[in-house]
Amino acid sequence: MEKGEVIGKGRTAEVIYWGDNRVLKLFYKDFPSSIIDYQYKVDTLIGKIFPNCPKAFKKIEENGRIGILYEYIEGIVLREFMGKKIKSVGKALRMLAELHVEMHKYEIKDINSQKNSFKLAIQQTDLLDDDQKKEIIKYMEKLPDGNTICHGDFHPENIIVSENKLYVMDWSNAYSGNPNGDVARTFYVLKYGLAPSDEYTIKKSFIHRFFFKAIKSLVAKTYIKHYIKLTGISLKEIKIWDLAIFAARLREPVPLEYENLLKMINNSLKHHK
Ligand SMILES: Nc1ncnc2c1ncn2[C@@H]1O[C@H](COP(=O)(O)OP(=O)(O)O)[C@@H](O)[C@H]1O
Ligand SMILES: [Mg+2]
């Protein structure tokens, strides 16, 4: 591979091969430097604790943009691995659960706390009114605490399958907290998460929508069943985090999900009354 070749593009940055087994995650212009600083801090701290993440070397400036230099991980993202053979789907989802269980064995201090991260996101959304926000935050504050490493955006696109190891990328949303909240977030994304490229499928016809939903549901179930099997926690201990996860998700730029999120949040709030 040549230095300068773009190997990944996301919402916040492009990832460029930088030679010598390194990549540069180069953030787009005007992306807040405080968020880049947080990501670099988290990468450095987690890199010392959890062996399945690429090493972060340093922050650099390139043509007026800020970037973080990482160890290059050769492989394919887990989403691609899943798509290779129908047989690989179940295997990939069990690998996803196993890696999540492994991550949740480690503790971390000195990074954002889960409840603060969720609270901030909930306070910042324009899609809920103040009373709803207050009620959700009050409910969330009563949930169990923890100081486990939580990734905050753990899904098949943020995992690279290399020759004999899985690596977790993109720790920009990481926090210290109760792992069951992190599992509820992954379950949500697998079951209800929609990328802009899904718009065509969900608007196509009832039958397309039906199969699309059924597959996503099965995918999410396979992951969570395996996580539960390996840890012995109950589904209920995970589900109590849903309301906070749904409300915090409203802060993210995922407009295709908002209608469903608001429906689920309102149902859940009615339940609490
Ligand atoms: N250290 C790395 N080695 C190899 N590929 C990487 C590395 N970091 C990121 N990538 C690739 O770039 C993509 C985007 O990186 P990511 O950190 O997830 O950025 P974003 O915040 O934009 O989602 C990843 O899905 C992966 O394919
Ligand atoms: Mg990513």
Check pLDDT > 80 for residue 244: yes
Q: Ligand 1 pocket test: which of 17, 170, 172, 173 has the largest number of ligand atoms within 8 Å of its C-beta?
A: 170
Q: Whose CA is nearest to atom 11 of ligand 1?
A: 8
State pTM to two decimals.
0.95
Write down the pLDDT at residue 165. Answer: 93
Ligand with an atom nearest the CA of residue 23? 1
Q: Percentage of the chain surpassing pLDDT 70?
A: 100
pLDDT tier at 142 (50, 70, 90 boundaries)? very high
Q: pLDDT (tens digit, 9 = 90+) per residue, 116-140?
A: 999 999 999 999 999 999 999 999 9
Query: Would you kindly state where each structural domain of the chain is located, as residue ranges?
Result: 6-71, 76-272
Q: Is the pLDDT of residue 199 over 80?
A: yes
Q: Tell me the average pLDDT across 151-170.
A: 95
67-117, pLDDT tens digit by residue? 999 999 999 999 998 887 777 899 999 999 999 999 999 999 999 999 999
Which fold would CATH assign to domain 76-272? Aminoglycoside 3'-phosphotransferase; Chain: A, domain 2 (3.90.1200)
With bands split at pLDDT 50, 70 and 90, how would you rate the model's confidence at 200? confident
- pLDDT tens-digit map of 203-231: 888 998 999 999 999 999 999 999 999 99
| Ligand 1 nearest atom to the CA of residue 12, by list position | 22
Assess whether pLDDT exceeds 70 at residue 273: no
pLDDT above 80: residue 272:
no
Model confidence over 19-42: pLDDT tens digits?
A: 999 999 999 998 999 999 999 999
Work out which ligand 1 atom sits closest to the CA atom of 74. 4
Query: Which residue has a Cα nearest atom 12 of ligand 1?
Result: 8
Whether 181 has a pLDDT exceeding 70, the answer reads yes
Tell me, using a 6 A CB cutoff, whether residue 72 lines ligand 1.
yes
- State in Å: Cα 169 to ligand 1 middle: 6
Q: Is the pLDDT of residue 10 over 90?
A: no
**CB 15 less than 6 A from any atom of ligand 1:** yes
The pLDDT assigned to 108 comes to 97
Closest protein CA for atom 13 of ligand 1:
8
CATH class of 6-71: alpha beta
pLDDT at 86: 74
Q: Which atom of ligand 1 is nearest to the CA of 157?
A: 25
Ion ligand 2 residue ranges (Cβ < 5 Å): 10, 158, 170
199: closest CA among 122, 243, 259, 265? 259
* Atom of ligand 1 at shortest range from CA of 172: 21
Protein residue closest via CA to atom 18 of ligand 1: 170
Q: 254: CA distance to ligand 2 center in Å? A: 14
